[in-house]
Each structure stands twice: as structure tokens, then as C-alpha cells.
Amino acid sequence: MEEKLLDGLLVLDFSNFLAGPFAAMRLADLGARVIKIERAEGGDLSRKLTLSNLIVDGDSTVFHSMNRNKESYAANLKDAADLERVKQLVRQADVLIDNFRPGTMAKFGLDFESAKELNPRLVYGSITGYGAEGPWKDRPGQDLLVQSLSGMTWLNGSGDQPPVPFGLSVADMFTSANLVQGILAALIRRGTTGRGGLVEVSLMESALDFQFEVLTTHLNDGGQLPVRSNVNGAHAYLAAPYGIYKTADGFIALAMGSVLRLGELLGCEELAAYQDPKSWFDRRDEIKAILVRHLQGRTTAEWLGKLQPADYWCAEVLSYDRLFAHEGFQVLDFVQETERKNGTVVRTTRCPIRVDGQRLFAKRGAPVLGEDNADIDAEFGLK
């Protein structure tokens, strides 16, 4: 695709770690030009935040994974000359993204009100942990902490387990997606009014919104607390057979469906006793215990051979190696290679969005700290 949807849009990414940088990267995937404004000493803190201690070309794979297609401009905002150059960039930008604690950008005269004076057309995207008000506003906005405070960890795992967090930074991911939606909406408004605006999201509000289904149930069922199944728990609010079960050679996932129909397909006569659909939730542990015993008798492929032709919702549980080897994954063409200016190649995932039938790939890898300073100074006339 020669021209992408956001070609011509200039984004300044002041953010660190995950939610902000990921949002800025998604805008870059869609064609925006993203200049990452980083601390002159050390840059984005995620450059050294590793997963499995993995470093590539001096930076963590965490940093590489969410900063492709960006330029890096290193600046010391406590230095008057550097700060003035950054403000000159703000005057020419379309979007600014920050994810610092409330009040941090104001120290440098880069908060929304100050930035609006520099550039009334600027769309300013701000991420906080818990919003700009209340007793949590100055606490660290970190994913596991937000998962814990939001009640989310009581939805995972089985009833005999302690609170179980997701194995991914889900609060960060949904916050990032919310910010991108808000920024794009503000840009549409700017197209008709010429006016920029402030888009604010928080990890806490995004974590609560992520739970909209179960919180709506909780708000309308008399305030009952979620009760996790004691057998193969997978969703605190869903009936049997919902869960993952061991087979003779692996695991199979069963989603929502009739317990009676499942019993017929599996040849499990015990399930015929549960005629009342309400019992599929009220007595789900009994039902799931029957399935635990029964499903261990045959291989995953054998069970899939009975369930899939009947369009019963089920799936094999794949490990990464088997996922990558599967034709279903390969046809997605979801792995791409990005390359730094110095030739370092990093394999990563691509943007999941397709536009006009075309996948969106990125060739430019995450930048080395400050590698674009000279070019940006010259292009934008920064002094």
C-alpha cells in the first residue's frame, strides 16, 4: 500500500513503557509519522525492561516490539535550549501522547493547556493510571497493580485458587486501544472545526470497561460476587462446559453450548441427567467433573472429530511451537521482520488491521536513542 490512512500526520510520543508507546506505534502502523521524544540519558525506560532477560542490539525486545516505525529525538527537558526545540516541534505537530503521572508535563510547560497555547489544533492524548483526581492519582499506574485493584483477578482461575492475574498486560493494551480511538475521533472533529482537544484515558477505567459484561451482571443481580468454578475454571459467570480439559494426549477447550448435545456427541450418558439448562450453571462443577473423567479417555483429535463436524464450539489448545507450525497461523502471515538503520533485524508481529484487503507491514525497526536528532533539527529548523 503506497499511501496509508494517516499519511501526513505528525505524532510526538513522549510516553514510556507500554500503553502510550503502543498507541503511538498503532498510529505509525496506520501511516502517521511518529517522533519519539526521549530522555537524553537512557531514553524510554522500557529500553531496559526485559522479558526473559532478552536484549537485542542494546535494547529489550519489549522496546523493540512497540516502537517500530518511529524516529527518536533525545532531549533534556530541564535544559532550556532542548525544551525550546521540543516546543517548536509541538507547534508543528498534530498529536501529542504522554503517559506520566498527573502534573509531570506541567513542570515543563507541556501540559495540555500550555500546549494548546503553542498549537490550538493539537490533539493531546494523555494516559494516567487512575485519572487526574482521587486518592489513587499519584500511585504507580502499572498493569498488575491495576488488575488487582479493579477486581479483575477474581475472575480467573478456579475457585480453590488465590486471585489470578492475566499473563499479559491487558490493562495497558485496552488503554492503548481506547486512546487511539479517542485520538482518531478528535482528529475527525478537528477536520470539521479546526479545533484540537484533550483525550484522556486511564488504566483503571480501561480495566473496568474491559469487564463491562460481568460488571453489568453484578450491577443487576443484587450485587452478588463472582463465584469461580472449582473445576477447570475459565469464566466466573459462565455455565458448564466452559473450560479447558485434559485429553489422552493434550488439552481441548469447550466454549458455550448445550450440555445435553455435548453428552450425545461425546457418548457421555451421565450428562443426560442435566435436563434443565439452569443446572448447567448451578451444578456446573458436577458437570465439569464428569467431563474431566470422560475426556481423558480419548485423544484431542478424536474428540475434535466428533465435535467439529457438529459445529460444537471447541478448539485444540496449542503451544507456541505448534501454533507457529499450523497452517491456520501461517496463512495469516502475522510475523514480520523490522530492521534498524544499523542493520539489526528483529522478528515481531505485524499490525492486525487490514485496509482495502491489504495487510500493514513495517520495515523500519525501533530507533536507537537520539539517532534522528540531527535530521529532525535540520528539517524542522530547530535551534
Contact 63, 362 (CB under 8 A): no
Sign of the dihedral defined by the CA atoms of residues 200, 180, 44, 378, in that order? negative
Please name the amino acid found at residue 216.
T
Q: Please report the pLDDT score of residue 3 as a whole number.
A: 81
pLDDT under 70: residue ranges of the chain: 1-2
Contact 287, 238 (CB under 8 A): no
**Which positions are annotated as active-site residues?**
235
Sequence-distant (6+) residues with CB within 8 A of 90 are: 12, 96, 110, 115, 118, 119, 122
Q: Which domains does the chain have, with CATH numbers?
A: 10-210+332-380 (3.40.50.10540), 243-325 (3.30.1540.10)
Contact 317, 275 (CB under 8 A): no
In angstroms, the CA 247 to CA 335 distance is 30
- pLDDT tens, residue by residue, 221-260: 999 999 999 999 999 999 999 999 999 999 999 999 999 9
In terms of Cα–Cα distance, which of 320, 62, 270, 11 is closest to 172? Answer: 62
In terms of Cα–Cα distance, which of 24, 118, 38 is closest to 376? Answer: 38
Contact 240, 284 (CB under 8 A): yes
Residue for grid cell 471447541? 314
In terms of Cα–Cα distance, which of 13, 74, 63 is closest to 38? Answer: 74
* Grid cell for residue 14: 513522549
DSSP string, 122-181: -EEEEEESS-SSSTTTTS---HHHHHHHTTGGGSSS-TTS-----SS-HHHHHHHHHHHH
Q: Please report the pLDDT score of residue 25 as a whole number.
A: 98
Q: Please report the pLDDT score of residue 383 as a whole number.
A: 87
Q: What is the dihedral of CA 275, 277, 280, 281, to 10 degrees?
A: -150
Q: Please report the pLDDT score of residue 2 as a whole number.
A: 67
Please name the amino acid found at residue 335.
V
Which pTM value belongs to this model? 0.96
At residue 157, φ and ψ (nearest 5 deg) are: 75, -175
